[in-house]
A = this chain, B = another copy of it.
């Protein structure tokens, strides 16, 4: 822990009382000048710190920052978040997580950034990543599963993101095959999972997650071809990013442990419950042909199961799926 993290931790454990500069200085074994310097730095970061003559300092309010020490503090996880790297700006959290993975970083390492200068979405598309309002994070996993099963983790992260939105923001988020999260038909979060594997073993998987939390209308680019939204736009309330992230990491951790023990079935059931097109008539555009049928579920490889009008069930691995009226 840095001196700043130590002071912050001290303030938090004494939130109902004033602490003098001398007390802090003695308790952390740093000079009073250092205490004063750190208090000033914290104020610059947006922490509200009251200073009362002859009584000392007291923490009144914390800004919506994503600091590694805050994220780790009180995080109830087995594996996810073992190491948290928090950055104010990065090209993309996935790219940083990939570099860390190649250098041997621990399973469960989390990279979170306040802003991405080159955020990427599906198929190399740009993912708008303004500062301070949303969540951009990447989680490094090293599952000992066959390569064919790695896409199952995309569904695991979709379920965790949707359930966290529903719990923390009281939304009714749905999942859309293969990897979208929607609220009232508009995209609220995106997943970009990357994998590096060889014939018989996965070196690493990176779960990249972007969630539009407090973004307002003016912050979305104009040229988007699909409807988008944010938790704030849906509810009118701003979301505490730290609370959201901690809940998300705990949810991912729980489902990942369960996945390693029990396999894909529990995730598949949850995903099917959250699926926006379950039991609906759909058209599947596969480029060279269009299939019509009813969505009946997800299979073990992450294929969407669509029952055609002749009763046969097709496994869809690629293509655009849209409801038919």
Contacts and interface: CB of A to CB of B under 8 A. Distances in A.
Interface of A: 122-123, 146-151, 154, 178-179, 191-201, 301-303, 317-318
A194 B200 CA distance: 9
Contact of A317 (B149, B194, B196): B149
A178 B198 contact: no
Contacts of A318: 146, 200
B199 A179 contact: yes
B148 A303 contact: yes
Chain A interface helix/strand/loop/mixed: mixed
Contact of A122 (B122, B199, B317): B199
B200 A191 contact: no
The 8 A-B residue pairs with the shortest CB-CB distance, nearest first, are A146-B317, A194-B198, A193-B199, A148-B301, A146-B318, A195-B197, A179-B199, A154-B199
A122 B195 contact: no
A122 to B, nearest CB: 6
A91 to B, nearest CB: 15
A37 to B, nearest CB: 44
